[in-house]
Structure 1
Amino acid sequence: MSDKLRNLCEMDFSDYLIAYRSKYRIKAHILFWLAVVLLSVTTNYFGDKNYSIIQALVYAITLLISQLLSAYFLAYFIFPRFWDQRKYFSSILLWLLGVYLLSVFSRILVVYGAEPIIFRLTGDVPVDETEPIAVIFTDLYKLFKVYFYFTLSIPFVFLAFKFFKAQHELYEKNLVLENQKIISELELLKAQLNPHFLFNTLNNIYSLSLYNSPQTSDAIGRLSGILDYLLFQSKRRFVPVSHEWKIVVDYCELERLRYDQDLKLEMTCEVETDTDIIPLILVSLVENAFKHGAGSETDSPWIKISLKSTTECIGFEVTNTYVEHVAPIEKQQGLGLQNIQRQLSLTYGGKQTLNFNRENGIFSVALKINRS
């Protein structure tokens, strides 16, 4: 891999946006001002004064100088003082003074720059004498009637582009930061969940080994698959729901070995579309069922697990027995369903529902994730 490609791969998304915009910023500015010159030349050439191409180009370039100064003065000096620093009064005064001086400057450029060049090119003789600079400074009517418009029209368009660009960049920056925050929180929640899940699974293997059960090797194989999932696949943001279901089956088989005939377990799966899902969510719901159902003081514990994945949604339901006098698990603190709800909320927003029902010694959890 080349150093350039390696640096690109290691670059943060927000840094990439900054680098991309910095690279094309000058080109974008040049294109904008070329478009302004083209518009000015076209307007003067086809206008009432019947300028030639050369005359129209000279006037366009002459006015462009003051428009450039006005645009960057407004965008990079006045606007930051007014918008960011909240210096409203001084900003307005500086803006009015700047408009006046730039209008004077535009008139001077036309009188002492553009018109002599045009007369020299065309051979025409000036009808009026050249205005003295003192007159240009004091002729407010002509300044604000003609040059005020030229000084501010294009710069205001430039400022509008800059404002909307800044708002869009701020939105993108906030979006990147929000995504980074969500990913960080998800990783933190996974880090809290994984050791808890792994600890329970190792306890199951340990219980089997105490009795030299021939099923220990099968359990170790299932644990190997679970560890691979925990260490590698669960690091991804999304995994196929079929992969998650396989881990659910492996975990349930380990638990079935632990409880032997004391636990009745029913599992059904119907996957029409192998939709992606955030890892460990289904496993966590099943783990809670075993912890608070099969692992409680219930006389005849049972757990029912069902999964259905279609093109429209993922539906997952876990129903289990529980002991009435034990605190409801949806109200318990720490790990468990509160953790799961947080992960779902961070990832899916309002596209998911997670409902609990507790009645007559039966607790059920129903998860639905809509694809759109």
Structure 2
Amino acid sequence: MIKFLNKYKAFIIGPSIVLPLFYFLDYIGFIILPEDKTYEIVIYTLIWGLIIALPIYYYQYLKTKKKTVIRVISLIILFVMTLVIDSMMNFPDNPITFILLMVFWLGIAYLLVPGFMKKYWKLIAVFYIPLLAYFIYLRLFSGDLEAYLIIKEDFPFIVFFLPIPILFLVWIFEQWKWIQNLKAEKSKTELSLLRTQINPHFFFNTLNNLYALTVKNSDQAPEVILKLSDMMRYTIYEGEKDLVKLQDEIDYLKNYIELHKIRYRKSVDIKFDHDIDNSITVAPLLYIILLENAFKHGVETLAENAFIHIDLFEKDNFIYFVIENNFDPNEVKASNGIGLKNLKRRLSLLYENKHELRIESAGNNHKTILKISKHA
């Protein structure tokens, strides 16, 4: 708590300076504080306290920004001149004071958010010019002072500063939009990174197997080269797309299965049923991780009677991918599950609340069910 207060002490110092100063200026008659409107004093104290606190807080930064400091000093001088002119003219609610105040507040806004002010200067003009014109009309052309004060009772001139909160809301919207864009860019970057993590060990293992086949002059070598080429092309080019046809994913999985059949010398019962509209589009490279796990943690742990059964189907506007395999509990090694974490993260980014991943184990059987929406 002490560390926090020490870091932000400038925002305590600011109001602490302003409030006594207000009452001193009121005491000598330089300004008049409203006696029955405490909330106005609080608001003014917070605003001016913030204005004083910011230069203190950013002192080290401001030392490197001389132009900014000059602008701040110019605005302070402008405000002081406004107060002096207002007190010397002895003219209640005089237009010169309001114009100078308007310039001052717009100058503060420009100093804080120059890009925003440049972008929305037309919107600012649409708000301020009619209000200023209406005020000048009321004050100078609607009748005598008494008539103006009567109108002011029904139309409190605090409304003159109405554009400030409105423009502040526009600025908040701009920040929200910027944050959303930033999140989208972060998600795209993260997805790109996750895609690069997909099955590199598989390609290395397959290349090693290919090397062994070429040494033996095996007739399977050309087939392996072709299938591996297709898979690498799909991973590199199709994997970068947002959506691909389900048929392309099915072909990719089939190539993976065929390459593993060539790799293993033992008999493995592999079934892949896909009763589904193959033109449906899905995010690429979602199912390969589950298939990899079935081989790595299932087939590779068993000397015989290994199986992998896959069922891909649609039901109630969802696509189901169900994969079941057996394994040897005594041979299963502890794993950090990077592939599965990768998949879960991609699903949360791509399908958010429109997916379900369920993992079930019973005895020496392992079953994973992935359900994703067709209309994500």
Shift of residue 311 of structure 1? 7.5
Q: Which residue of 1 aligns with 2:263?
A: 258
The letter of the residue matching 2:189 is S
Q: Which residue of 1 aligns with 2:289?
A: 284
Q: Given the alignment of the two structures, is residue 169 of structure 1 paired with residue 174 of structure 2, yes or no? A: yes
Q: 1:368 aligns with which of 346, 367, 371?
A: 371
Shift of residue 322 of structure 1? 0.8
Q: Which residue of 1 aligns with 2:26?
A: none
- Aligned-residue Cα RMSD (Å) equals 3.7
Residue deviations 1:260-288 (CA, integer Å, cap 9, x gap): 55211111112226333222211121111
Q: Which residue of 2 aligns with 1:324?
A: 329
What SS does the aligned partner of 1:306 have? strand
Shift of residue 243 of structure 1? 1.2
Task: Write the mapping of 1:152-167 to structure 2, written as runs, cut at 5 A.
Answer: 152-153=158-159, 155-156=161-162, 158-167=163-172
2 CA distance for matches of 1:145 and 1:220? Answer: 88
Task: Write the mapping of 1:237-248 to structure 2, written as runs, cut at 5 A.
Answer: 237-248=242-253
What SS does the aligned partner of 1:350 have? coil
Structure having greater relative contact order (Cα 8 Å, sep ≥ 6): 1
Q: Given the alignment of the two structures, is residue 293 of structure 1 paired with residue 298 of structure 2, yes or no? A: yes
| Contact preservation (8 Å) 1:307, 1:317 | yes
Q: 1:343 aligns with which of 346, 352, 369?
A: 346
The letter of the residue matching 2:323 is V
Label 1:165 to 1:318 Cα distance change in 2 as closer, same or farther (>3 A). Answer: same
Q: Which residue of 2 aligns with 1:55?
A: none
1 CA distance for matches of 2:348 and 2:276? Answer: 24
Q: 1:216 aligns with which of 221, 232, 236?
A: 221
- Which region of structure 1 is more displaced relative to structure 2, 342-351 or 272-281? 272-281
1 CA distance for matches of 2:102 and 2:324? Answer: 67
| Contact preservation (8 Å) 1:272, 1:310 | no
Structure 1: 5+ residue runs without aligned partners? Answer: 1-62, 82-101, 116-129
Q: Given the alignment of the two structures, is residue 203 of structure 1 paired with residue 208 of structure 2, yes or no? A: yes
Structure 2: 5+ residue runs without aligned partners? Answer: 1-93, 113-130
Q: Which residue of 2 aligns with 1:272?
A: 277
What SS does the aligned partner of 2:219 have? coil
The letter of the residue matching 1:196 is H
The letter of the residue matching 2:342 is N
Count of matched residue pairs: 264
Residue deviations 1:104-147 (CA, integer Å, cap 9, x gap): x98776565x47xxxxxxxxxxxxxx97xxxx6xx8x9548528
Aligned sequence identity (%): 27
TM-score (norm 1): 0.60
The letter of the residue matching 1:336 is G
| Contact preservation (8 Å) 1:275, 1:309 | no
The letter of the residue matching 2:291 is V
Shift of residue 150 of structure 1? 6.4
TM-score (norm 2): 0.60
Shift of residue 343 of structure 1? 1.4
The letter of the residue matching 2:336 is Q
